[in-house]
Each structure stands twice: as C-alpha cells, then as structure tokens.
C-alpha cells in the first residue's frame, strides 16, 4: 500500500489540472465532484497508508520513495522523492483530512459564484502543493511546494478580482511572504554549498557531524530558515499580510489558516530542528518571535469588529504559541498544537463562513447579534471552536496542546519562564477576544434578519471538525492526568523531547488564565450596550495592529517610491532614452522613401546594383 | 559555323537590358512595365547564350532555359496581380497603387 504514497499529492494535482483546462466545459456539479473527490481520495489513501505505517512500521521508522531524478550536475544530484516519517505523516493527515472537509464545505459556500471551476482548481492545487511540501525528501522539492503554496495563496486571496482591494491584498501576501522565501532560498544554497547535499535527512546528519554548536555558519543558516518560516507563518515582523488575506472567500481563509500555508513555517523548523539545536541563539529567537507575535496578535484581535479579522489575528497568535514551543525545544508540543489548531481553526472559519453565508456576507460582529436562536448549527460549532481556541480545560483539544506548550516552556529554565508568562497572558487574552465575538455576535438582540438553512455539505464538516476539536486532544494526555502518549510515541523517532506537564502548578495557572479570560469576556460583553469603543486612541492603536502597516508604508514603501521618482531621469536612463530618440529620428527620416511607387523602388534597385557592380569592377 | 564575337553579343545584351530598364522606369502602364521586364530577362538570356558559345559550355543554354521558365512564371504571377489590382483600382497606372506609402 505504501508504494501508492505518490498518489497523495498527485491526485489533487490531477484534479487541479483537469479543472484548470476543463472548467469552461464542466458543469458546476461535475467541477465540485472532481474538486472534492480528488482531495477526498488523497485523504483516504493518506489515512490507509498512515494506518499501515502505525500498525506495521517500516525499517527505521521511515519510508522513502524515489520518483525520478531531477538533475545530476558534477556529483551533485537532486532526486524527486517522498519521505514518510511520523512528522510528515501527521502533516499529511492534517492537510489532506482538514483540506477535504474544507473542500466539501466550499462546494455549498461557493454555489452561484462566478468562476466555480477555477476556484476548485486553485483550491486543489493549494492542497497538492502543501502535500508536496510536507512529503518532500529533498529541500528543493520542499521549496517547490513552498512556492506553490505561495502562488495559490496569491490566486485565491485575489479570487474576487473585481475589487482592486482584493488584488492589493493578494499582491501583499505574495510580496511579503516572498521576502521570507528569499531568505529561505539563500539558506538552502548555503546548505547545498556547505553540506554538499539537499537531501533533508542526510543534510541534517552532516550538519550534526561537521558543524560546531553555535558556529557562525550554522547560526546563519538557521536564521535564514527562520526568515522563511516567519514569512510563511505570518510572524513578526512579516505578519502584515495575514489580516489582509481575509479578502479571499472564507473556505480559502480556512485552508490557509488550518491545513496549509501558515503551518508550513512550523513544519520547516520542526523538520530542520537539528540545525536549530546547533544554533541556540536562533532557537531562542524563534521563541521570542513567537511570544511577541502571540501577544501583539492577541491584543490586536481584541480591537477588531470583523469576525474574520479576529480569526486572522487569532491564527497569528496561535502560530506564535507553536513558535514558542519550537523555541524551547518542545518540538512535539508544537506539532500537537499545530494539529489541534488545524481542527479548531478550520471549524471557526467554516462556522464563521456559515454565519456570513446567511447574512449576505456581512462580517461586522456588531451587525449580527442574537444569532444562536436562528443559526443553532453555526452557533454550536463556533462555540466549540472558541472553547478549543481559548483552551477551555479538560474538554477541548486546544487545552491539551496548549498545555503541552506551556509546560514545555516552564521546564526550560529562566528564559522559558519568560516565554511561559507571555503564553499565560496570551491565553487570558485569547479567552477574552474570542468570547467577545461569541457574546456580541451570537447573543444580545438581533440586528439583522436571517433566513435559510444549511445543506449536508455544510453540516457534515462542521460536525466532524467539532468532534475533532473536542476529542482530538485525548491522543496525548499530560503525565499528571493519565498515561496516554500516542502522539509522543509516534513522533519519538523523529523529534526528541517529551510532551506534557510533570508538575500541576503551571497547568493550573494556565487553566485559570483561560477560564478567567472567558469570564471577563462574559462580564464585558454579555449585554454589549456600550461595547463599541472605536473612539479611544488605544483602541485605534490595536485596531491597526500596533501600526505595522503604517510603519512599513512610511519607512519602506514611501522611501522606495521617492527614490524611484527622483531616479527616473538619471544617467543610465538617459542612455536608454537616447537610444529611443535616435531610433525615432531615423524612423522619421527614412519613412519618406516608402512612397508606394513601384517605379521608384525599381529605380532604387537599379541604382544600387549599378553602384555595387561599379565597386566590384573598379576596385 | 560563324560565331558571334563576344563583345558584340554582350553589347547587344547591354543595349537590350538598358532599353528594358528605361521601359520599366519610364512607362506608367503596368502592362508595358511587365513587357519591359521581359526584355530585361531576355537581355540576360542573350548574355548567357553568347558566353556559353564563347567557351563552348552547355551551361549557357541551360541557364537560358531557366531564364525562360522564370519569365513564364513571372508573367503569369504578374498578370494575376495586375488583374487583382485592376479590380480594386480600375486603372493600370503603376503610380496609382501607392496606398502602402509610409
């Protein structure tokens, strides 16, 4: 069964190709069938392969598949190959499984939209690129998937291209992540020249053998890889594209935030954790970046009125948690939270999409209100998602994964304690901002008229993801609770370090933080009479996410535009405009000779021939 | 068999060629231009024949046959073009067809 691994990325790619070239001739029904079935089949194959992998592990815990040789230059060869180990297995399951349910939801969400086939073509390509990224055995193949993900995010964020603002958001996402991609590419080139291979596993082994701890080279490589991860995972300071990426349709946001794209950075760091272990400064920077991002994004989410923007900032914040986990070496905890986050963030986005579907795409939470009676399915799913996001103790997946991160930070000495404090404050803020949305949007008085009901294609994904958001955490309990360690057993062959709290104190603290967040939100927004506070400067500061967009605009975009303006007529440009001028002048001079008179042409021919013959004879 | 001296033959060819060229340049009627072109081609043919006779080489006559073929095809294509032009602009004046001027 394992030899069919290549089908997992190939099937969505095939679906994408069919839809791309045939979407003009396919009916909406067929397009939806192709789009969903290709990912569904991939998810099924991934599931069967994973089951086989767990029950009957291959030798060494790794299954490799070489598809073909990409190129071979002077002893340096690159194979296109797939590598299935517990880490990529987890990512493959999350990407294809959650991706499948998002596709199913999208078939109903996008009904009646222009470019239905095109939408699913790009959605399929997105999943295919992400699967290639996580299954790649080689850095270059990984990079191909990495860029594919970036391309698809551009295509899908700008899906409704009729509005120029959406195009602007798409370009912003592409360009900002491109900055990180460039750093990543330079890092890859350094790995290729320094370690002589781009095969991930052998590069890690060689790095371990040949590079010294904290040597400048390994630190540089780790920082460059971190740059790539920061761009894709929307962490400080390359985070500004993510809130604007909400311009895309809601299933796209769900896909970007849950199954693909933003988790790529976390995966990359976990995959190359050997390098980060060799470069303690880089690893510590990962944790600091994560802590700063989780606080900044959490406070920014408090000041948003758009339901999707709240979720966008919450994603940044949760990825920040994963970075904290990576920074303190709790690799397994990061992957655990990545999985749980995929479940509940997909659930939150899909239920938010289900709400806006019935409100004519109204996303302002202050125009909703009292929806729990009208839209019970969306309400319960959103509530479960919110509970998981705010890590409601004991019953949600988010609690167990976040707890694993926080106890990992707690156990990492003084530096870890600082990150732990940030995490606990973040947990409190998370409870406040997400339940602010719940209370304002779903309780209180009704502000809009809601009509219509949902089909099974909306309800089934919501139910499945709700279930996963609740029980998904039970695969790994903290040692204080019981002895279930399925995830850490699975990951033990690739990622070191244990999972889960050994002491109860920090655990109680974190639980208390998240519960008190929810309580504070309830106290403030249960009766949201004067909850709209857009006047205060503090509110405006956080609404603009601490003004990073303004900062970049003022200090990067404006100087570049200014330099371009004053540089328009410099010496080099003069050369080129001179060439243009000479050409045009010549054109005007010679144009007269094209008189259209055949006899003149003949005379010219004759004269020319006479001259040539004269030269030949008289010379 | 008396042979035509080379210089006299070439002189004949040159005169014929000049006559044809003058015809092409001076006449405005397209049919006459075409006929003048034939004269020029035949002048070239005469030069080949004379040269072939001078060095007793068969290549001169071969080239003349080639020139004949070329002349036939040129006339057929040229007449077809003149016919098409005449349908579009009902005149045979060569200077009237200057619509492609720059």
Query: B102 contacts in A (CB within 8 Å)?
Result: 591-595
8 Å CB contact of B28 and A599: yes
Nearest CA-CA partner of A186 in A150, A217, A213: A217
Tokens matching residue A359: 């409100």
Q: What is the pLDDT of residue B36?
A: 92
B78 at interface of A, judged by CB pairs closer than 8 A = no
- What pLDDT digit, counting tens, does each position of A304-313 carry? 888 888 888 8
How many angstroms separate the Cα of B29 from the Cα of each of A68, A160, A235, A595, B40?
Answer: 71, 64, 82, 18, 17
Q: Which of A592, A593, A596 lies at the smallest CB-CB distance from B98?
A: A596
A587 at interface of B, judged by CB pairs closer than 8 A = no
B85 at interface of A, judged by CB pairs closer than 8 A = no
Q: What is the pLDDT of residue A365?
A: 74
State the smallest CA–CA distance between residue B96 and chain A in angstroms: 8
Look at chain A and count its residues: 619
**pTM for the full model?**
0.76
Chain A residue closest in CA terms to B96:
A597
Chain B residue closest in CA terms to A587:
B102
8 Å CB contact of B95 and A606: no
Between the two ends of chain B, the Cα-to-Cα distance in Å is 57
Instruction: Write b or e for each residue in B6-38: b if 16 or more Cβ atoms lie within 10 A of its Cβ, otherwise e.
Output: eeebbeebeebbeebbebbeebeebeebbebbb
Query: B95 contacts in A (CB within 8 Å)?
Result: 597, 599
Contact, A95 vs A229, CB < 8 A? no
B82 at interface of A, judged by CB pairs closer than 8 A = no
Residues 6+ apart with CB under 8 A from A477: A400, A483, A484, A485, A500
B100 at interface of A, judged by CB pairs closer than 8 A = yes
State the smallest CA–CA distance between residue B65 and chain A in angstroms: 24
How many angstroms separate the Cα of A394 from the Cα of each of A239, A427, A484, A521?
Answer: 32, 15, 14, 20
8 Å CB contact of A598 and B97: yes
State the smallest CA–CA distance between residue A577 and chain B in angstroms: 24
Query: A593 contacts in B (CB within 8 Å)?
Result: 102
A80: helix, coil or strand? strand
Instruction: Mutation target for B interface from A595, A605, A613: give the one with most B CBs within 10 A.
Output: A595
What's the helix, strand, coil split of chain B in %, to 5?
75, 0, 20
Chain A residue closest in CA terms to B17:
A606
8 Å CB contact of B100 and A597: no
Residues 6+ apart with CB under 8 A from A416: A287, A328, A408, A409, A410
- What pLDDT digit, counting tens, does each position of B4-48 carry? 788 898 999 999 999 999 999 888 888 999 999 999 999 999 999
Tokens 């790009």, located at residue: A122
Nearest CA-CA partner of A169 in A243, A230, A115: A243
Task: Give me the torsion for CA of A71, A74, A76, A79, rounded to 10°.
Answer: 20
Chain A residue closest in CA terms to B23:
A599
A596 at interface of B, judged by CB pairs closer than 8 A = yes
Interface of B with A in 26-45 (CB under 8 A): 28, 33
Is the backbone of residue A469 left (phi > 0), alpha (psi -120 to 50) or beta?
A: alpha
Chain A residue closest in CA terms to B25:
A599
State the smallest CA–CA distance between residue B100 and chain A in angstroms: 5
State the smallest CA–CA distance between residue A601 and chain B in angstroms: 9
Instruction: Mutation target for A interface from B14, B21, B92: give the one with most A CBs within 10 A.
Output: B21
B21 at interface of A, judged by CB pairs closer than 8 A = yes
B92 at interface of A, judged by CB pairs closer than 8 A = no
Phi/psi for A488 (5° steps) reads -70, -30
A591 at interface of B, judged by CB pairs closer than 8 A = yes
For residue B78, what pLDDT band results from cuts at 50, 70 and 90?
Answer: very high
Tell me the C-alpha distance between A167 and A484, whole Å: 47
ipTM of the shown complex: 0.85
State the smallest CA–CA distance between residue B47 and chain A in angstroms: 16
Query: B28 contacts in A (CB within 8 Å)?
Result: 599
Q: Which of A596, A599, A606 lies at the smallest CB-CB distance from B99?
A: A596
Contact, A39 vs A102, CB < 8 A? no
A595 at interface of B, judged by CB pairs closer than 8 A = yes
Contact, A400 vs A406, CB < 8 A? no
Query: Which segments in chain A show pLDDT lower than 50?
Result: none
Tell me the C-alpha distance between A195 and A190, whole Å: 8
Q: Which of B24, B98, B99 lies at the smallest CB-CB distance from A602?
A: B24
How many angstroms separate the Cα of A567 from the Cα of each of A131, A478, A552, A575, A579?
Answer: 44, 61, 21, 14, 19
What's the helix, strand, coil split of chain A in %, to 5?
75, 5, 20
Contact, A479 vs A500, CB < 8 A? yes
- What pLDDT digit, counting tens, does each position of A82-117 carry? 888 888 888 888 888 888 888 888 888 887 777 788
For residue B66, what pLDDT band results from cuts at 50, 70 and 90?
Answer: very high
8 Å CB contact of A594 and B25: no
Q: Which of B94, B99, B101 lies at the smallest CB-CB distance from A599?
A: B94
Question: Cβ–Cβ contacts within 10 Å for residue B92, how many?
Answer: 16
Residues 6+ apart with CB under 8 A from B37: B20, B24, B74, B78
């Amino acid at each position: 069964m394992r030899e069919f691994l290549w089908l997992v990325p190939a099937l969505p790619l095939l679906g994408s190709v069919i839809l791309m070239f045939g979407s003009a001739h396919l009916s909406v029904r067929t397009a939806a069938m192709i789009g969903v079935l290709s990912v569904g089949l991939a998810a099924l194959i991934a599931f069967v392969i994973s089951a086989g992998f767990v029950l009957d592990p291959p030798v060494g815990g790794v299954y490799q598949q070489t598809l073909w040789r990409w190129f071979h230059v002077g002893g340096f060869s690159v194979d296109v190959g797939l590598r299935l180990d517990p880490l990529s297995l987890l990512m493959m399951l999350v990407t294809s499984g959650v991706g499948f349910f998002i596709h199913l939801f999208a078939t109903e969400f996008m009904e009646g939209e222009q470019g239905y086939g095109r939408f699913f073509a790009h959605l399929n390509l997105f999943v295919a690129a992400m699967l290639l990224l996580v299954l790649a055995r080689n850095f270059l193949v990984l990079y191909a998937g990495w860029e594919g993900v970036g391309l698809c995010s551009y295509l899908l964020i700008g899906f409704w291209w009729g509005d120029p603002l959406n195009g602007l958001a798409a370009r912003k996402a592409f360009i900002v992540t491109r900055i990180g991609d460039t750093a990543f590419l330079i890092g890859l080139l350094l790995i290729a020249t320094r370690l002589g291979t781009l095969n991930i596993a052998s590069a890690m082994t060689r790095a371990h053998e040949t590079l010294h701890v904290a040597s400048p080279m390994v630190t540089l490589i780790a920082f460059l890889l971190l740059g790539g991860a920061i761009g894709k995972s929307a962490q400080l300071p390359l985070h500004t594209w993510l809130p604007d990426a909400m311009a895309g349709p809601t299933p796209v946001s769900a896909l970007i935030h849950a199954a693909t794209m933003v988790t790529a950075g976390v995966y990359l760091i976990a995959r190359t954790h050997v390098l980060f272990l060799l470069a303690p400064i880089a690893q510590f920077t990962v944790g600091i970046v994560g802590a700063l991002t989780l606080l900044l994004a959490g406070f920014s989410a408090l000041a948003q009125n758009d339901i999707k923007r709240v979720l966008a900032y919450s994603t940044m914040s949760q990825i920040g948690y994963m970075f904290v986990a990576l920074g303190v070496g709790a690799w397994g905890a990061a992957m655990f939270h990545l999985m749980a986050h995929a479940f509940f963030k997909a659930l939150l986005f899909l239920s938010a999409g289900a709400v806006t579907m019935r409100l004519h795409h109204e996303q302002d939470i202050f125009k909703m209100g009292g929806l729990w009676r009208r839209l019970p399915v969306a309400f319960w799913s959103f509530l479960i998602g919110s509970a998981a996001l705010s890590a409601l103790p004991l019953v949600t997946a988010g609690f167990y994964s976040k707890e694993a991160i926080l106890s990992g930070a707690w156990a990492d000495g003084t530096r870890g304690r600082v990150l732990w404090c940030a995490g606990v404050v973040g947990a409190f803020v998370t409870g406040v901002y997400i339940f602010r949305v719940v209370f304002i949007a779903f309780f209180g008085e009704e502000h809009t008229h809601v009509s219509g009901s949902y089909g099974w294609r909306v309800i089934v994904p919501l139910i499945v993801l709700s279930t996963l958001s609740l029980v998904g955490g039970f695969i790994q309990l903290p040692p204080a609770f019981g002895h279930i360690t399925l995830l850490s057993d699975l990951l033990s062959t690739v990622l070191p370090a244990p999972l889960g709290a050994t002491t109860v104190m920090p655990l109680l603290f974190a639980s208390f933080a998240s519960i008190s967040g929810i309580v504070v939100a309830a106290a403030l927004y249960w009766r949201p009479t004067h909850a709209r506070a857009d006047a205060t400067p503090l509110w405006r500061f956080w609404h603009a996410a601490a003004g990073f967009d303004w900062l970049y605009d003022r200090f990067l975009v404006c100087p570049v535009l200014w330099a371009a303006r004053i540089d328009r007529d410099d010496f080099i440009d003069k050369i080129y405009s001179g060439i243009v001028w000479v050409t045009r002048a010549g054109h005007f001079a010679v144009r007269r000779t094209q008189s259209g008179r055949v006899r003149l042409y003949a005379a010219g021919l004759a004269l020319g021939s006479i001259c040539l013959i004269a030269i030949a004879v008289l010379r | 068999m008396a042979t035509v001296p080379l210089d006299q033959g070439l002189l004949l060819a040159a005169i014929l060629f000049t006559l044809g060229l003058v015809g092409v340049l001076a006449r405005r009627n397209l049919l006459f231009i075409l006929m003048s072109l034939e004269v020029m081609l035949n002048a070239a043919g005469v030069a080949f024949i004379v040269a072939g006779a001078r060095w007793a080489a068969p290549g001169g006559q071969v080239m003349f046959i080639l020139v004949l073929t070329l002349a036939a095809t040129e006339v057929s294509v040229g007449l077809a073009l003149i016919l098409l032009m005449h349908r579009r602009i009902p005149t045979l004046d060569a200077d009237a067809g200057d619509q492609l001027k720059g």
